[in-house]
Amino acid sequence: MARKYNWKTGCDVEATLSVIGGRWKPILVCHLLSGRKRFGELRRLTPNATERMITLQLRELEADGVLDRHVFAEVPPRVEYELTDYGRTLEPILVQMQAWGRDFKARQAAADATHTDCVLESVPD
């Protein structure tokens, strides 16, 4: 765990964010809720994340006990990730985040629809 967090005095929300905070961790966990995935699958499912960032985020999640990494002695090497039982306890949190995000996007779309572009009328010469 490369993050600094004071486990004795820190806020509980801060503790949660130290584990699932960041742009890609919640997304990776969401993809793993449906079952075990190979690294290449996770990379395809998160095309905007770099391979290095996915690797770092997966390592942190593994260090925190959220997921297990399975390495198969094959050529080329095959690595699969799956959530631990403890990692699965994040599902209700992520479902709520998804619902909130859906609502937020709808509100933003409605707000954008009510703002029309300013149309200048032509002034006669």
DSSP string, 26-81: HHHHHHHTTS-EEHHHHHHH-TTS-HHHHHHHHHHHHHTTSEEEEEE--SS-EEEE
DSSP 8-state secondary structure symbol assigned to residue 22: S
Specify the amino acid at residue 44.
Answer: R
Query: 121: pLDDT confidence band, cut at 50, 70 and 90?
Result: low
Query: What pLDDT score does 10 carry?
Result: 74
| Residue-range domains of the chain with CATH | 12-112 (1.10.10.10)
pLDDT of 12 reads 85
Q: What confidence score (pLDDT) does residue 89 get?
A: 96
Q: What is the pLDDT of residue 36?
A: 96
For residues 54-65, average pLDDT: 96
72 strand-pairing partners? 78
- What was the pLDDT predicted at 77? 85
Q: Is the pLDDT of residue 2 over 50?
A: no
